[in-house]
Amino acid sequence: MEETTLNDPSIPVAPPGLSVWERRVFDHLVEHVDREKDALDGYGALATSTTSEATRYLARLILDEEARHHQMLLGLARTIAAFPRPGPVPVLDHSRDAALAEAAHKLLAFEREDRAELSKLAKELKPVAGTSLWGLLVDMLIQDTDKHIHILRFVEHHAERGAH
């Protein structure tokens, strides 16, 4: 693992003084980031080499999301590498925040309503499922909405109770 991190300046090197658990998590993150490079290259190649406009569109959607995942994992690794200073991924606040909890609660209501509307739309699109990307794209929007709900529940929970 050290060779990879030394050859690629975008991947941080583990600092001395990490606990066994921190080092194990760091190594896992770095290995995942390193392995993902091949997938990013593969999706990029697919997006540029295919003659199918639909496949090119889908490959670019996946490529954008994989690139975001790559940056998130790098941020986590850099946070550990910044030990003992805070890194790019912040830690949870330890205090309660009623205003934040209320904002998250309102956004959760919006996302839940949005999910119900998207589910209705998905049912409406069933007749063109075999001839269009529309149903797939709406399904992806539903998955993203589920992810937003998951994130907002996390935010709401910690704003109501503070970090434990």
pLDDT tens per residue, range 9-40: 788 899 888 889 989 999 999 999 999 989 99
pLDDT at 4: 39
Overall average pLDDT of the 131-157 stretch? 96
Look at residue 75 and tell me whether its pLDDT is greater than 70. yes
Which comes out higher in pLDDT, residue 77 or 4? 77
Determine the pLDDT at residue 164.
Answer: 63
What percent of the chain is modeled with pLDDT above 70? Answer: 93
Q: What mean pLDDT value characterizes the chain?
A: 90
How sure is the predictor about 42, in pLDDT bands with cuts at 50, 70 and 90? Answer: very high
**What is the per-residue pLDDT for 82?**
87
Looking at residues 65-83, what average pLDDT do you find?
A: 91
156: which residues sit within 8 A by CB, 6+ positions away? Answer: 101, 104, 105, 108
Q: What is the pLDDT of residue 8?
A: 65
Predicted local confidence at residue 26, as pLDDT = 94
pTM of the model: 0.79
The span from the CA of 155 to the CA of 68, in Å, is 20
Burial of residue 128 (number of CB atoms within 10 Å: 0-12, 13-18, 19+):
exposed
pLDDT of residue 10: 81
Q: Which residues contact 152 (CB under 8 A, 6 or more apart)?
A: 104, 107, 108, 111
